[in-house]
Structure 1
């Protein structure tokens, strides 16, 4: 992929994150004491919907990337 395509994809993903975060915050506020459960449930719903929109393998690859990012962030916090 070219740098232009990468930049466009990153910009689109950042916009998608912004939309998702806005809706997640609203759902967590509405959930009150169930917020932790709602957050996890939204992950499950999002994964199921993502599989409908793309392929199982694409979702698995994205989740692996996300898991690696989470582990790297945790390692950096420990240092």
Structure 2
């Protein structure tokens, strides 16, 4: 994984932690656009999924309305 991707996903994880609660693909996409990362919505979704695979986020809800929350262990240690 490139440093640029790690940095982008790290920034997204920091934003999820700052906001707390529920985070959607749309929120991730808006965050990226507002901070100059500017990737497409699909990249935002894949970054959220990658953070979930790492155990940092939990995925909840149906595929067409997925919501991400901080994983308990990530919230405690992060």
| TMscore range, shorter length | 0.3 to 0.5
**More helix by proportion, 1 or 2?**
1
The TM-score with structure 1 as length reference comes to 0.35
The TM-score with structure 2 as length reference comes to 0.36
Q: Which has the higher contact order (CA 8 A, sep 6+)?
A: 2
Determine which structure has more spread, i.e. the larger CA radius of gyration: 1
